[in-house]
Amino acid sequence: MIITVTLNAALDLTYTVPSLTPHATHRVTEVAERPGGKGVNVARVLAALGHAVTVTGFAGGATGGTLRDHLARTPGVTDALCAVAGATRRTLAVVDARTGDTTQLNEPGPTVTPDEWAAFLDAYDALVRGAGVAAVALCGSLPPGVPVGAYALLVRAARAAGVPVLLDTSGEPLRRGVAARPDVVKPNAEELAELTGAHEPSRATRDARRRGAHAVVASLGAEGLLAVTPEGTWRAVPPGVVRGNPTGAGDSAVAGLLSGLVEGLSWPDRLARAVALSAATVAARTAGEYDPRAYADTLPKVTLTPS
Amino acid sequence: MIITVTLNAALDLTYTVPSLTPHATHRVTEVAERPGGKGVNVARVLAALGHAVTVTGFAGGATGGTLRDHLARTPGVTDALCAVAGATRRTLAVVDARTGDTTQLNEPGPTVTPDEWAAFLDAYDALVRGAGVAAVALCGSLPPGVPVGAYALLVRAARAAGVPVLLDTSGEPLRRGVAARPDVVKPNAEELAELTGAHEPSRATRDARRRGAHAVVASLGAEGLLAVTPEGTWRAVPPGVVRGNPTGAGDSAVAGLLSGLVEGLSWPDRLARAVALSAATVAARTAGEYDPRAYADTLPKVTLTPS
C-alpha cells in the first residue's frame, strides 16, 4: 500500500465560460467538481495503475465532506484524512471556451490548529508504521497554521519506519524537507532554481542532491525529466511536443516514479513511466486525468539518455 | 408570516483577489459565503425588519446543504425549501481589491425534474393556504427544467388563496407572470424595457400595468423608484447619490414594499421605505446587507413626488 499526504487538500472546480471578461457577469456553461490537491491527484493516478493507496492530510467543513464523498467513490483509494474545524479550500479554474486559456483562483485553505496538527502527526506515525506500507508521497503546499518544517518531520518519521519517501513541494517547506534526507524530491525548474539559486538544470539538480535528497528528479516541462540518482544520471524525454493542458502532469510524474519504485523497476524504467504518464495527462481531455491509450502509446517511445 | 419563493436559490461566494488578471493564477485573500438567490436575500431583509419569513423553492446537493445550514442560523427565517436531486448552484463574485470592480460567475443551477416541480407546486399550494400568510414574493430566475410559465401558476395559486403576491423576475417568465395579474411587479429599467418595448420609464411602467399587474414599481437605480398603483403614481428619490455596491439593492426594495404592504402602510410610505432600504444596501460594507443606521438616516429624507 502507498500513502499520499495532502496537507492542503482541495475541492477542485472547473468553470467553462464563453469568454472571460473582467468586471462582466458570466453565465457558467459547464461546472466540473473533483477532489484535488497534489497528493490526492497522485493517489488517483496510482489507483488507476492498480495500486492500493491511502490518502491522508486534512479535510473539514462542507467542502471537505464533498471531497470525501468523491474519494469514497474512487476505487482503490482509502480515505484516512484527519478532520479539522476549518473548511477545505476550493480551487477554481475558469476556462475561456473561446481561447482555451485558464484563469486560476485558489482559496488559502483552513487554518490548522496546534492540536489538529499534533493529532495528524500521531495518525501519520501510526499509518507509516502499519503493515504493508511500500512508500509515502508528501505533496503540495502547507495550509495556514502548519509549521514550515512540517515536511522535515514527516520525512524523518517515514525514514524511522523504514518506508521510502518522496517529497514534492516548494519554497521553504522544500528547503527544510530536503535537509531531512528524503529518498526522492521532484521539483520543477522554478522550484529547483528557488531552492538552489542555480538556473542551469543539471547544475541545480546536482546541487539539490547535495542538500540531502538521495535522488532528485527535476521536471522540465516539454523537455521531460532530469534525474540525478545513486544509480546514475539520466534525461528522459517524451517523443515530440504534446499539446494540451499541463494541469496535473507533475502529479502524474510523481505517481509514475512512486509506482515504479514500489514495483522494483530500475531508475530508467521509472523515469520512462513518469514521462509517459505526464505526456498522457497533458493529452487527456479532462484536466488532471491521464489518457490510458496515450500512456501505452508513449511509454515505448520515451528517450532515455545517461548524462 | 411572509413567504418568499426562490426557485433558483444559490450559495453566494465572494472572493477578494489583489488584482484580477485573465490567464494568471490568483491567491484568494478573502472568502465569504452566504445563502443567496433573490428570494433568500428578500427574506434576510424582511427578518432584519422584524417579520417572520418562510423561504421556499429548491435546494439540493452539498451546496444546498450548506445553504440550509446558513438559513438555520438566520433568526426569523424558516426553511421550507424542497429537496431536489441536483446540486444548488454557486454564484461567485470576484472582487479586485485594487479597483473594487467585481467579476461575476453564475452557475446555471440544478435541472428540476417534472416530479420535483409537481411536488413543489403541492407544497407551495399548502403553504399559501396556511394560517397567517400575509404576502408572497416570487423572485429571480428559473432553474433548468422549470416551465417558463411557472410564475403565472404561482401567482394564480396565491390569488386563489387570497394572498397578495409580488413578482420580481425578467424575460418571458415575467411576461407570463404579469398576465396572471400579480398585485405588484418590480422590474428594473432593463427588464421593463424588455417587457414593454418602451424605453421611457413612465410610459413603460403604465404599459406594464396594462398587461395585468395591479401595481408596477420600476427601480431606476440612482433615480429611485417610479410606482404606478391603483392609488396613484409617484416618484420616490433618495437624497443624493449613494456610493457603494448595488448588489442586493433591488431585493431590499422588494423587502421594503412587501413589509410596508403587510403593515398596512400607504403607497408613499412603502415607497419611501423601499428607497431607503435600497440606499442603505448600496452603502453597506458587505454586499447584499443593509446598513441599519444609513436606513434610519435616509428614510425621512426620501423625496416623494406625485406624477
pLDDT at position B243:
80
Task: State the SS3 of A215-245.
Answer: EEEEECHHHCEEEEECCEEEEEECCCCCCCC
Predicted local confidence at residue B101, as pLDDT:
87
Instruction: Report CB contact under 8 Å: B24, A104.
Output: yes
Confidence at residue B173, expressed as pLDDT on a 0 to 100 scale: 97
pLDDT at B241: 81
pLDDT tens digits for A246-302? 888 999 999 999 999 999 999 999 999 999 999 999 988 777 789 999 999 999 999
Give me the architecture of the A2-6+36-88+110-306 domain, per CATH.
3-Layer(aba) Sandwich (3.40)
Cβ density class A101-140: b for 16+ within 10 Å, e for less? ebbebbbebbebeeebbebbeeebbebbeeeebbbbbbbb
In the predicted structure, residue B245 carries a pLDDT above the cut 90: no
- Reported as a pLDDT band with limits 50, 70 and 90, residue B247 is confident
Q: Which of B25, B29, B102 sits opposite A23 (nearest CB)?
A: B102
Using the beta-carbon criterion (under 8 Å), do A104 and B27 form an inter-chain contact?
no
In the predicted model, is pLDDT for residue A222 greater than 90?
A: no
Instruction: State residue A307's pLDDT score.
Output: 85
pLDDT digits (tens, 9 = 90+) for A106-136: 999 999 999 999 999 999 999 999 999 999 9
Does position B131 have pLDDT exceeding 80, yes or no? yes
* Chain B residues within 8 A of A25 when measuring between CB atoms: 104, 106
B101 belongs to the catalytic site: no
Which of B31, B89, B105 to mutate to probe the A interface, most A CBs <10 Å?
B105
How confident is the model over B285-303, as a mean pLDDT?
A: 91
pLDDT of the residue at A172: 97
Which residues of B fall within a CB distance of 8 Å from A28? 105-108
Tell me which of A222 and B169 has the higher pLDDT: B169
C-alpha cell at B34: 452566504
For residues A193 and B241, the model is more confident at A193
Can you tell me the mean pLDDT for A211-231?
95
8 A C-beta contact, residue B54 and residue B78: yes
pLDDT tens digits for range B55-101: 999 999 999 999 999 999 999 999 999 999 999 999 999 999 998 88
Break chain B into its structural domains and give their ranges.
1-146
Share of chain B above pLDDT 70, in %: 100
Q: Which residues in chain B have their CB less than 8 angstroms from residue A31's CB? A: 107-108
Mean pLDDT value across residues B212-221 = 96
pLDDT 10s digits, B253-280: 999 999 999 999 999 999 999 999 999 9
Q: Which residue of the set A168, A183, A251, A291 is catalytic?
A: A251
Give the pLDDT band of residue A101 (cuts 50, 70, 90): confident
C-alpha cell at B67: 445553504
Contact call for residues B113 and A32 (beta carbons, < 8 A): no
On average, the pLDDT of chain B sits at 95
Give the ipTM of the model, two decimals please. Answer: 0.85
> B7 CB contacts (<8 Å, ≥6 apart)?
B57, B58, B112, B140, B141, B142, B143, B146, B150
Which residues of chain B neighbour A26 with C-beta distances below 8 Å? Answer: 103-106
Could you say which of B12, B183, B251, B291 is catalytic? Answer: B251
3-state secondary structure chain A: CEEEEECCCEEEEEEEECCCCCCCEEECCEEEEEEECHHHHHHHHHHHCCCCEEEEEEECHHHHHHHHHHHHCCCCEEECCEECCCCCEEEEEEEECCCCCEEEEECCCCCCCHHHHHHHHHHHHHHHCCCCCCEEEEECCCCCCCCCCHHHHHHHHHHHCCCCEEEECCHHHHHHHHHCCCCEECCEHHHHHHHHCCCCHHHHHHHHHHCCCCEEEEECHHHCEEEEECCEEEEEECCCCCCCCCCCHHHHHHHHHHHHHHCCCCHHHHHHHHHHHHHHHHCCCCCCCCCHHHHHHHHHHCEEEEC
In this structure, of A180-194, A225-239, B39-53, B241-255, the range with the lowest mean pLDDT score is: B241-255
* pLDDT at B3 exceeding the cut of 90: yes
pLDDT at B32 over 80: yes
- Residue A77 pairs in a beta bridge with A53
- Quick one: pLDDT at residue A100? 84
Q: What is the pLDDT of residue A230?
A: 94
- Does A104 score more than 80 pLDDT? yes
CA distance A137 to B278: 54
Closest CB to A23 among B25, B62, B103: B103
Which pLDDT belongs to residue A242? 78
Instruction: Evaluate if residue B286 carries a pLDDT over 80.
Output: no
Phi-psi region of A109 (alpha: psi -120 to 50; beta: other; left: phi over 0): left
Phi-psi region of B76 (alpha: psi -120 to 50; beta: other; left: phi over 0): left
Q: What percent of chain B has pLDDT over 90?
A: 93
Picking from B34, B228, B3, B280, the residue whose alpha carbon sits closest to that of residue B127 is B3
Residue B197 clears pLDDT 80, i.e. is over it: yes
* Å between A266 CA and nearest CA of chain B: 37
User: Domain B1-146 belongs to what architecture?
Assistant: 3-Layer(aba) Sandwich (3.40)
